[in-house]
Structure 1
Amino acid sequence: MNAEEVLRRYALGDRNFAEAMLQESEILHASLLEANFQQVDFRQARLGQSNFSQTNLRQADLSEALLWGTDFSEADLSAARLRETDLSGAKLIRCNLSGAYLLKAILNGANGNTANFARALLIEADLQSSSDRRTDLGHVNFSHADMSYVRLGGALLFDANLTGARLCRADFTGTLQSGFAAADLTQANLQAADLSYANLKGAILREANLRGADLTGVDLTDVDLSGAVMPDGRIHN
């Protein structure tokens, strides 16, 4: 099966493309909402600006794919492989990425508001804001995700759930390239999170919950902790 056949069959009403081999395929500016792409091989595919909202992409392999501005709103990408995938500017609103593998994935300027990344692997992922758009991760579920060495400069994480997340050596600082300040984690839940040796310079953690969090090696000098619950349970002034 190739991209042309997928588009032709979709136009005729077919929605089932499970386990198709579509490696290196090009599907640009197409609408494929509500289709079944479970376990499809999309490695190194180019799917930019397409609409995959409400699709089933469980266990699909999108490693090294180019997904610039692609719409995955309410799609199911649970346990999908997105190693080194470029999701810059992608729409991930209410997308299910639980258990997904996003090693070194790029999500600059993506809108992941209310998405589910529970227990996902995001080691060395780049979630920094882009030069023209802030990465929106508000209300996202990152509980027990592995986000070691992740870059979050300028990202919005308002009310995000980072309970038990591993953020060892994560970088929350702003960048000259994006022009945005450090990450905003206002009211985020970081209870029992591992923030050891993370760079939080300039980060905003107003009213955040840090109870039981590991802050080993973290410099809090320039961090806004107004009203935050500290690891020992006290409220920061």
Structure 2
Amino acid sequence: MDADELLKRYCAGERNFPQVSLHLVNLSEVCLAGINLNLANLANATLSQSNLRGANLIEANLTAAVLWRTNFSGANMILANLKAANLIRATLRKVDLHKASLAKADLRLADLHDADLSNANLAGADLRYANLTGAFLAGANLNGANLTGAKLSNTDLSHASLAKAILYKTDLSYVDFTEVDLTRVDLQHCLLHGVTLPERSLIEAG
């Protein structure tokens, strides 16, 4: 299926496109709110500035997709593959990204407020100045992630791994650090209001 056919069918009221192959398609600046793209192949696709609010993208393949300023608010992206995707300034508020792969994704300035990123793979992701306020990051893999200037206040990081992550001027106020791996992490330039770090973590972070 190409972009024109998808848009024609969507405009006619169709919403279900499970397992559709849209590899390399250009769907920039279009409205696809509420669309069902469960298990769809969108690898290397371009959906910049498009509206996918409330979309079903469970287990969708979005590897290396261009998703600059794309709006995914309230979407279901459980187990989605977003490795190396361009998500700069994307809106991912209240998105379910449980067990999703965002390894090496570019999430600079992305809005992930209240998103569910539990057990997600964010290893090596660029999260500079991203808004993760209130996000659920329990069990997430943030090894080597760049969190410079990111907002993580009131997040749940319990059992997450931040080994070798870059945290500079990161807002970690009121974060749950239960059983967090902070190996080789420097927290001295972070905001830590209302935080109690386990002694073991303090030793590892030094």
2:203 aligned with 1:208, yes or no?
A: no
Counterpart in the other structure of 1:92: 92
Q: Which runs of 4+ in 1 moved over 6 A?
A: none
Residue equivalent to 1:37:
37
- The answer for the alignment partner of 2:152 in structure 1 is 157
C-alpha contact 1:196 1:215 (8 A) present in aligned 2: no
Partner of 1:168: 163
User: In percent, how many aligned pairs have the same letter?
Assistant: 32
Amino acid at match of 1:198: V
The question of 1:188 aligning with 2:175 is answered: yes
The alignment's TM-score, normalised by the length of structure 1, stands at 0.85
CA shift for structure 1 position 201: 3.6
Q: Which stretches in structure 1 are left out of the alignment for 5+ residues?
A: 130-134, 174-181, 220-237
Q: Aligned residue for 2:136? A: 141
- TM-score (normalizing by structure 2): 0.97
CA distance in 2, matches of 1:17, 1:184: 40
* Partner residue, 1:113: 113
- Higher-Rg structure is 1
Q: Output the CA distance in 2 between the equivalents of 1:154 and 1:214.
A: 21
Offset at residue 198 of structure 1 (A): 1.1
The SS at the match of 1:8 is helix
* In 2: Cα distance, 1:144 partner to 1:218 partner: 18
Cα distance, 1:13–1:36 mapped onto 2, change above 3 Å: same
Supply the distance in 1 between the matched residues of 2:173 and 2:185 (Cα, whole angstroms).
17
RMSD: 1.1
Give 3-state SS (helix, strand or coil) of 2:201's partner.
coil
CA deviation string 1:155-192 (max 9, x = no partner) = 0111011001000011011xxxxxxxx10011111111
| Residue equivalent to 1:218 | 205
What is the aligned residue count?
Answer: 206
Aligned positions of 1:6-21 closer than 5 A? 6-21=6-21
Q: Residue 229 of structure 1 corresponds to which residue in structure 2?
A: none
Match of 1:179 in 2: none
1:197 aligns with 2:184: yes
